Amino acid sequence: MDHNTLLLFAGIGALLLLASAIGYFLKWRSGDTPNPVIDNLNARINAWWVMVLVIGAAFVFGDIGVILLFYFVSFYALREFMTLTPTRRSDYPALVAAFYFALPMQYLLIAVDWYGLFAIFIPVYLFLLLPILASLGGDTTRFLERASKVQWGLMIAVYCISAVPALLTLDIPGYAGRNLLLIAWLIIVVQLSDVLQYVCGKLFGKHQIAPHLSPSKTLEGFLGGVSLACLAGALLYWITPFNFWQAALMALTVNLLGFAGGLVMSAIKRDRGVKDWGHMIEGHGGMLDRLDSVCFAAPIFFHFVRYWWVPPLV
C-alpha cells in the first residue's frame, strides 16, 4: 500500500473511532432502557468496522484481492436477488448459467482486462442466452416475467457491481498504478452519502421524499447528505485524477445516481413485501441493502471516467 492509501485508511479509521465513541456515548446516556434506533446505529457502526477491515484486507492483496472481493459481493447480491424473485422449476438452466457461468466469466474478463467483451458480455450474450435456456423447459407460464427477473438480477448484482473492479482496467494518463484509489474514492463518496443522508434524516428529517417507496428518506436528509458527501468527494480530489471541481461534479453525479438506486431497489423490495434484501450485515440488512446505491453509481462512473479521462487508442 502506498502512502496515500494508508493515509486514507487511517482517516476512515479515525472517523469510525469517532462514530463508535458517539454510539457508545448515546448508549450510555440512554441508560438501561432499550432504544432500537441507538442499538441499530451501533450495529451499523460495528458492521462498518468489519466492512472496512475486509476491504482493507482486499487492498493489501492488490488488484486480484479487490476483484475477488467483488466476485463474492456479486455472488451474495445475486443470491439475495434470486431468492426474493420467485422462479419456476424450468428456470433451473438459466439460473445455473447465471451463478456458475456468467458470474465467474464476468470477473475473469475483468481480471484479464478484456474491455471489448466484459462491457457487452451480460447485456448482449447473456441477454439472449438466458431466455433461450428458459424456453427449453417448455414452460410458458409467466415466461417474460421470469426471463426478465433472471436478466435483471444478473445486470444489477453482477454487471453493475463488477463496474467497481473494472475501474482497475482503465489506463488514465499520469495515474498509472493508482486505480485502487479511484475505487476507494467511489466507495467512500457513495457510502458516505448514504450514511450522511441517514444521519441528516434522523437529526433534521421532516418532509418525506418518497413515502410509498422508502419512508425513511427525507428531503432534509437528501439535501444535507448529498451536499456533505459532494464536499467530502471534492476535498478528496488529491487521490483521484480529477481536479477539485471535477471531483465535486463527479461526486454529485454518483450521489444522485446512488439516491435513485436506493429508490428503485426499495420499490422492488416493497413489491415483494419485504423490508430488507437479506440479513448478512448486522443492522444494515443484506448485501444489496448496503450496495443499492453503488449498483447504480458504479457503471455510469466507470463510463464517465473512461470517456473523459482515458484517451482513445489510435
Partner 1 sequence: MLAALTAFAITSAARLLTGARALWLGCTAQPVQRLYYANHSSHGDFVLLWASLPPELRRSTRPVAGADYWQRDGLRRYLINQVFNGVLIDRERGSAHSNPLQPMLDALDNGDSLILFPEGTRNLEEGLLPFKSGLYHLAQARPHIELIPVWIANLNRVMPKGRALPLPLLCTLSFGTPLQRLEDESKEAFLERARNALLAMAPEEA
Interface with partner 1, residue 96, by CB under 8 A: yes
The residue (of 87 and 214) whose beta carbon lies closer to partner 1 is 87
Buried b (16+ CB within 10 A) or exposed e, 283-313: ebbbbbbbbbbbbbbbbebbeebbeebbeee
Residue 77 CB, nearest distance to partner 1 (Å)?
12
The residue (of 247 and 268) whose beta carbon lies closer to partner 1 is 268
Closest to 58 (Cα-Cα) out of 80, 77, 73, 43: 73
Backbone phi, then psi, for 106, in 5-degree steps? -60, -45
Q: Compute CA distances 181 → 1, 28, 178, 229, whole Å.
A: 10, 37, 6, 17
The residue (of 18 and 96) whose beta carbon lies closer to partner 1 is 96
Residue 256 CB, nearest distance to partner 1 (Å)?
30
The residue (of 100 and 308) whose beta carbon lies closer to partner 1 is 100
The residue (of 96 and 136) whose beta carbon lies closer to partner 1 is 96
- CA separation for the pair 14, 88 (Å, rounded): 49
User: Residue 281 forms beta bridges with which residues?
Assistant: 285
Interface with partner 1, residue 30, by CB under 8 A: no
Residue 273 CB, nearest distance to partner 1 (Å)?
3
Residue 87 CB, nearest distance to partner 1 (Å)?
7
Of how many residues is the chain composed? 314
**Binder of partner 1 out of 111, 210, 267, 280 (CB under 8 A):** 280
Contact 63, 166 (CB under 8 A): no
Q: Compute CA distances 171 → 180, 243, 314, whole Å.
A: 12, 18, 14
Touching partner 1, residues 236-275 (CB under 8 A): 271-274
Interface with partner 1, residue 95, by CB under 8 A: yes
| Candidate segments 32-40, 169-177, 276-284, 299-307, binder of partner 1 by CB under 8 A | 276-284
**Binder of partner 1 out of 24, 25, 61, 100 (CB under 8 A):** 100
Query: Could you tell me how many helices (H) and strands (E) the chain has, helices first?
Result: 13, 0
Q: CA 314: distance to chain centroid?
A: 34
| Candidate segments 72-80, 174-182, 198-206, 300-308, binder of partner 1 by CB under 8 A | 72-80
Contacts of 125 (CB under 8 A, 6+ apart): none
The residue (of 41 and 129) whose beta carbon lies closer to partner 1 is 129
Binding site for partner 1 (CB under 8 A): 75, 79-80, 82-83, 86-87, 89, 92, 95-96, 99-100, 271-274, 278-280
